[in-house]
Amino acid sequence: MLYGDMMGEWLLWVEDSRVIQLRVVGPTSCLPPLMLWRFCQGLGATPLPDNKVEDKYLYEMLVITGNLKGAQTDSKVQFILSGDRDETDIRTLADNQRKILQKDSVDVFVMAVPRPLGDLQFLRVWHDNSGLGPDASWYLSFIVLRDVQTGKKYEFIANDWLAVEYGDGQIDRLLSVAGSEERKAFKHLFRNTSNKELSDGHLWFSVFLRPYRSRFTRCQRVASCFSSLFLFMLVNAMWYERVPEQPGKGGLSLGPFSLSIEQLGVGLLSNIIVFVPSLVIIFIFRKARPRKLRKNRIEVAVMEMSKVKEKSENQQLQRTNDLKDNRNASNEEGQ
């Protein structure tokens, strides 16, 4: 009888331990993929493919695509930017390394022009509707241009479809630079604030939606999420079967629900144990400076442009040398 009781207790312990192991191993197994997923994201500023190497005046261009269903596009997007001193030729938004203009995305480009455009006034943007199916249309939220030399910013607000099947059916928009009233409009502020709170403020969602410019890295967010998760598991283990299910005297009753003083005390202590360390960890991560400073994306884009120029010059030199060698060989054969 004693042996049977011991075996029964042992089997129960093994069954409970398996459940505990699954609860620990399951979330832990998700940690490495989430950490590695961060390095698969294409980040940084992209030089426009039609930049000319001799153009030295730079503008940084942030293109914000909306978060509506079907907002992304694979169509060829082009634009003309006009200032009070000059305007650009037709320029193209493209990146050979990654997909751009995806739903709820922020794409950063570097545009080189031969001379300053002055104070920016108008931005004409359109696409050729060449994308397949739902990827033909595009919902543009707004575009921000920054003069790299002066630091002055210009915002062009659209919050509209460039689509044949949505809105007014137009795929060509002429946007004027936004004034203070347009930038402070409730509709524009509400969309930006709600997106920011969801992508940066919500700890779990921000693992996937983290803003590019945030110093709170995706790896740090994943670590914060798992620290909170394991603290919750620790708290559950600390008070497992410690509080009676039936409340005693002095409890709180609300219809079919009832809470004892012990349950209220355990809930309060559990929140302190979980949330105080979690908030401290998040605060430290948000305020900490990176060990290795990130390279300036404008400088990186300029370096890429220089590499393209050097590569084209080397190819041209190689072709010239090959032509000379062919001519010399022909002359020797003629002699």
More confident residue, 311 or 68: 68
> What radius of gyration, in Å, describes the C-alpha atoms of the chain?
30
Mean pLDDT of all residues in 197-211: 70
Give Cα separations from 169 to 80, 103, 142, 187 (angstroms). 21, 20, 19, 22
Reduced to 3 states, what is the DSSP secondary structure of residue 5? helix
Tokens of 268: 């309060």
Residue 272, by phi and psi: left (phi above 0), alpha (psi -120 to 50) or beta? alpha
Of 219, 223, 229, nearest in space to 274 by CA: 229
Count of CB atoms situated within 10 Å of the CB of 140: 24
User: 236: helix, coil or strand?
Assistant: helix
Report the pLDDT value the prediction gives residue 287, as an integer from 0 to 100. Answer: 82
Please state the pTM of the whole predicted model. Answer: 0.63
**Burial class of residue 223 (count of CB atoms within 10 Å of its CB; 0-12, 13-18, 19+):** middle
Mean per-residue pLDDT for 13-37? 56
Return phi, psi of residue 305, to 5°: -65, -40
Average per-residue pLDDT for the chain? 78
| 219 close to 38: Cβ distance less than 8 angstroms | yes
CATH number belonging to domain 42-205: 2.60.60.20
**Residue pLDDT, tens place only, 9-22:** 544 544 555 555 55
pLDDT of residue 313: 63
Between CA 189 and CA 182 the distance in angstroms is 9
Phi/psi at 158 (5° precision): -115, -60
